[in-house]
Amino acid sequence: MHTQVGIVGGGPAGMALSHLLHLQGIDSVVLELRSREDVETAVRAGVLENGTAELLRETGVGERMDREGAVHHGIELRFGGRGHRIDMTELTGGRTITVYGQHEVVKDLYRTRLEAGGQIVFEAAAIGLRDLDTSTPKIRFRRGAELDLDAGAIRFHGDTEEEELTCDFVAGCDGFFGVSRPSMPADIRREYVRTYPFGWFGILVEGPPSSEELIYTLHERGFSLVSTRSPEIQRLYFQCDPNDDVANWPDDRIWEELQTRLATQDGWTLQEGNIFQKDIVGMRSFVTEPMQHGRLFLAGDAAHIVPPTGAKGMNLAIADIRVLSRALTEFYSTGQTGLLDAYSETCLRRVWNAQRFSWWMTSMLHRFHDGDDYQYRLQQAELDYVTSSRAAATSLAENYVGLPMEATTGVPAAG
């Protein structure tokens, strides 16, 4: 089997790459470990930066997003029992965010690629990469894979054999636990990690929205967030012990905790509803440098993780892909490797800014129970400043809606 660009992983990064390359006449094959159904139903954050939504729209995959997604012009920061609105659109000269689930973006990309004859091999486990420093790198993979989430292991059904996909380039879009990053020689890799002493307890609720905009709250008992998926489905989070168990949280206890943390002095009410899913996610910041080796290019979670507080995860993945697709287009149309050679450096500038922003939002809005009261008072002062200084609010707003590509990579967005 042969293709121009072998893509390991069919999440937002891999699928966006396959789509953008196709628009430039470049072939790819996507190998995805999970079934189509599993990827399409995974619940992931749903905030699209202005530029991410625009890219989807400009490349013909934004139609359903424009119909079903919700355009937001601001967010609320709540602390001390009071809400403060950050008017992002006004502060950024007209930019917005779109609330539209990551799995919805992936669904739209699958449909578009499959209709155009794109090759996506579902339930295919990449086993290893080789010949990365030659012009014919190879991906070894096996079909019939199944991810056993409880055991954290991959099993195979049927007696499938190992196959090899030979490519000109490999895009490692296989997430934090994929084979791509560990395929880079350990002695050229440098990893930067920060683990936070808390997690997010997330619930999906059938019921009406409590707010038209997202609410990020700091309370003495910890962080909480009011988000949404649709007019009928709400997404709420609260800070918890990352090692806690959802079984410790019957519905009544969850509502009591959320009501306490979100209460305001003006009698705002949180709408309760039927909780139909509960999960706990850990929080970490992670970057690997460089993001390329030979003919392997890492993109998205394979190269970097941000805590969800800044809602940057998928947006960063799409930003990587914008840089990579442009570099590959240059290579195939002119034979030049300048943009490919600069890939890692170009992406890392934006990645580190997003790390900074996500770390800052996380530090400002969570209770560090191992910290002292001094730290908590500083966080309150930070929130007070951000919600009362136009300069500080503008800084939050321009990062939240997404800095323009050229501001963080030096590469203009168009083209």
Which string of x and - marks every residue 208-227 that binds ligand PHB (by CB under 6 A)?
------x------------x
State the DSSP code for 2: B
Q: Is 216 part of the annotated catalytic residue set? A: yes
Q: Is 385 part of the annotated catalytic residue set? A: no
- Catalytic pick among 216, 293, 304, 343: 216
Residues 397 and 86: beta-carbon distance below 8 Å: yes
Residues 201 and 244: beta-carbon distance below 8 Å: yes
Q: Does 236 help bind ligand PHB (rule: CB under 6 A)?
A: no
Nearest approach in angstroms of CB 12 to ligand PHB is 14
Residues 214 and 72: beta-carbon distance below 8 Å: yes
Of 30 and 311, which CB lies nearer to ligand PHB in the complex structure? 311
Size of the site for ligand PHB (CB under 6 A): 9
200: left (phi over 0), alpha (psi -120 to 50) or beta: beta
- Catalytic pick among 73, 293, 304, 312: 312
* Residue 121 three-state SS: strand
Phi first, then psi: what are they for 382, rounded to 5°? -65, -45
Given 309, 329, 362, 408, the residue binding ligand PHB (CB under 6 A): 309
Residues 404 and 315: beta-carbon distance below 8 Å: no
Which string of x and - marks every residue 46-65 that binds ligand PHB (by CB under 6 A)?
xx------------------
CA atoms within 13 A on the CB side of 406: 4
Residues 343 and 77: beta-carbon distance below 8 Å: no
Torsion angle in degrees (nearest 10) through CA of 15, 21, 22, 26: -130
Nearest approach in angstroms of CB 202 to ligand PHB is 7
User: Tokens representing 82?
Assistant: 């009071």
Q: Is 72 part of the annotated catalytic residue set? A: yes
Q: Is 312 part of the annotated catalytic residue set? A: yes
Only segment of 45-53, 174-182, 185-193, 323-331 that touches ligand PHB (CB under 6 A)? 45-53
Whole-angstrom distance, CA of residue 359 vs CA of residue 67:
33
Residue 46 burial class via C-beta count within 10 angstroms: exposed 0-12, middle 13-18, buried 19 and up = buried
Given 20, 215, 311, 364, the residue binding ligand PHB (CB under 6 A): 311
Of 99 and 291, which CB lies nearer to ligand PHB in the complex structure? 99
Only segment of 40-48, 111-119, 376-384, 389-397 that touches ligand PHB (CB under 6 A)? 40-48
So which residues are the catalytic ones?
A: 72, 216, 308, 312, 400
Where on the chain is the footprint of ligand PHB (CB under 6 A)?
45-47, 214, 227, 235, 308-309, 311
